[in-house]
Amino acid sequence: MASATQTTSRPLIPQHIAETVIAAKSYADDAVIYDAFKWLRENMPLGVAEVEGYDPIWIVTRHADIRTVEKDAKLFHNADFNPILNDRASDAFTREMTGGSVSGLASLTYMDPPVHQQYRMLTANWFLPGKISKLEDQIRELARKSVENFLSFDGECDFVRDFALHYPLRVIMTLFGVPPEDEPKMLKLTQEFFGGHDPEEQREEVKEDPVAAAKMWAAALEDFFQYFDVLAEKRRAEPRDDLLTLIANSRINGAPIGRDEANGYFVAIATAGHDTTSSSVAGGMHGMIEFPQNFEKVKADPSLIPGLVDEAIRWTSPVKHFMRNATQDTEVSGQAIKAMDRLMVCYPSGNRDEAVFENPDRFDITRSPNRHIAFGFGQHMCLGQHLAKLEMRILFEELLPHISSIELAGPPRLVETNFVGGYKSLPVRFRKA
C-alpha cells in the first residue's frame, strides 16, 4: 500500500493536533475537538497525520474538500480498506476474524460502485420523501406517546436517557418490524457497536484490552447477526409489510442476496437508523438551551421547526468521519494525493467551516441556507435522511407546545467515539406549558 507520506513535501500535521483528531476521547469534549478542527481549517486544511499505531492518513477538514472527495465515488473508494478508522492492531484483529479482510461488514458503507448502487436500490424507493410522508400519522402517534412519558417526569429528567434515546428507536423498530420487547436489546447492542472506545460502554471481558473497540464491534456484530438470522427466516416464511421483509426477500440479478449482505443492511438500519437521530434530537435541545433566543423564536413561530431540525443535525454532526482511499493519483486543493492514500473525511469540521457558515459555533435555527454535510454527500449520502428529518420535525412539533422553559440541570456528557455518537446524558429542568 502506498503511504500517505511517501513524498516529504506533504504537509505534516503537528503531533498534538493529529492525536486529538484521531483519539476517540477528544469527541467527548466539544471544546477540544472543535478547537483542533479550527486550527486545521485555518493552517493545514488538508494534511497528513502520523500517529503511533496508525497508518499515515490525510485529514480532510474543509467543507469544499469534503464535498470534492465525497462526490467522486470512483476516484475515492470506501471498501478497499476499512471505511472506519482503526489502529493497526485492531485492523489485524479484524483480518484474523475475517480471513484477511478489514472490511468486516457487507453494508452500503463498505461497498463501492457498481455493487453499491445495486444494493442501495433495493430500499431506495422505500426511503423516498413521498413514501416516508405516508408514515407521518404512525410516527406522530409514537411521538405523542413519547412526549407524554417525558412530561410524566414532572419537571426534571435526563433528556437523553429518559427521552431522546427511545423515540427514534421505537420509530425505526416499528417500521423495521422488530418486536417492542426486543428494543432494549437493540439499544444495548447499538451502544456497544458504536461505543467500543468508551469505557462505560465496553463489555467486562474486553476492558483493558488494546483492541477492545474492535472486539466490542465484532461481538456486537455477531449478536446482531444471530438475532436477525432468526427474524429474516421468519419473514421469508411469513412476509409482512415491513422493511425487514423487503430486505430479507430481496434479489439481485434474480438471485437472493446473501446472508452477509442482508445482515449488513439489517445492522446499518438497526444502529445508525436511530442512534444518529437521537443524538440530533438531544443536540437540538442542548443548542436551544445554550442559545435560548432560538427556543423563544420557535415557540412563537412553529414554522421554524424544519430549520431547527437542520441546525440540530449540523451542530451535532453525529457521524464524525468515514475513511476513503484514492484509486489513482489525483489532486485535492493543490495537494498531491497518491493512489491508495487514505483520507479521513471529518464531517463535524466541515459543518463548522467559516467559509460556509457565518458564526459556525453558534446555534441558529434561522440559518439559511444551511448547507450542512452531516448526511454526507454524493452516492453515499445517508439513505434515511428524509425519515430522520421527518421524525425530528414531528417530535419537536409535539414536544414544544407542552414546555414553557427548559434549562440544564447538570453538565452534558458525550460518548467517547471518533465514528458515530453524540450525547450520553443531558440533565434538564423544564416547566410545563
Residue 362: half-sphere exposure toward Cβ, Cα within 13 Å: 11
Q: Do 156 and 420 meet the contact criterion of CB atoms below 8 Å apart?
A: no
Q: Which is more confidently placed, 197 or 404?
A: 404
Any domain includes 195 = yes
Q: pLDDT at position 199, please? A: 59
Q: Could you give the number of structural domains in the chain?
A: 1
Phi, psi of 201, rounded to the nearest 5 degrees: -100, -10
Any domain includes 10 = no
Any domain includes 327 = yes
Considering the chain, what is the average pLDDT of its residues? 91
Percent of the chain with pLDDT over 70: 93
Q: pLDDT at position 191, please? A: 76
Strand-pairing partners, residue 431, are 405
Is the pLDDT assigned to residue 346 strictly greater than 80? yes
Q: How confident is the model at residue 122 (pLDDT cuts 50, 70, 90)?
A: very high
> Which range in 93-97, 191-195, 213-217, 369-373 is most confidently predicted, on average pLDDT?
369-373
Return the closest-CA partner of residue 156 out of 333, 405, 348.
Answer: 405
Return the closest-CA partner of residue 349 out of 70, 68, 62, 64.
Answer: 62
Any domain includes 28 = yes
How is 65-112 classified by DSSP, letter by letter?
A: HHHHHHH-TTTEESTTS-SS---HHHHHHHHHHHTS-S----SGGG--
Q: How confident is the model at residue 341 (pLDDT cuts 50, 70, 90)?
A: very high
Residue 187's contacts (CB-CB under 8 Å, 6 or more residues apart) are 165, 166, 169
Any domain includes 2 = no
Taking residues 122-137, what's their average pLDDT?
Answer: 91
CATH number at residue 423: 1.10.630.10
Q: How confident is the model at residue 9 (pLDDT cuts 50, 70, 90)?
A: confident
Amino acid, res. 390: L
Is the pLDDT assigned to residue 213 strictly greater than 90? no
DSSP state of 161: I
Q: pLDDT at position 158, please? A: 97
Any domain includes 8 = no
Q: pLDDT at position 5, please? A: 44
Q: What is the pLDDT of residues 70-87, one digit of tens each?
A: 999 999 999 888 899 988
Q: pLDDT at position 76, please? A: 97
Return the closest-CA partner of residue 291 out of 367, 345, 342.
Answer: 367
Q: Which residues of 69-108 are buried (b: 16+ CB within 10 A; e: fewer)?
A: bbebbebbbbbbbbbbbbbeebbebbeebeeeebbbbbbb
Angle at Cα 55 formed by Cα 336 and Cα 383, nearest 5°?
A: 80
Phi, psi of 192, rounded to the nearest 5 degrees: -75, -40
Any domain includes 1 = no
If phi over 0 gives left and psi between -120 and 50 gives alpha, with beta otherwise, what is residue 253? Answer: left
Percent of the chain with pLDDT over 90: 70
**3-class secondary-structure state, position 144:** helix
Q: What is the pLDDT of residues 155-179, one digit of tens each?
A: 999 999 999 999 999 998 898 888 8
Taking residues 392-405, what's their average pLDDT?
Answer: 98
Query: Where in the sequence is the domain holding 51, given as residue range(s)?
Result: 15-432
Any domain includes 320 = yes
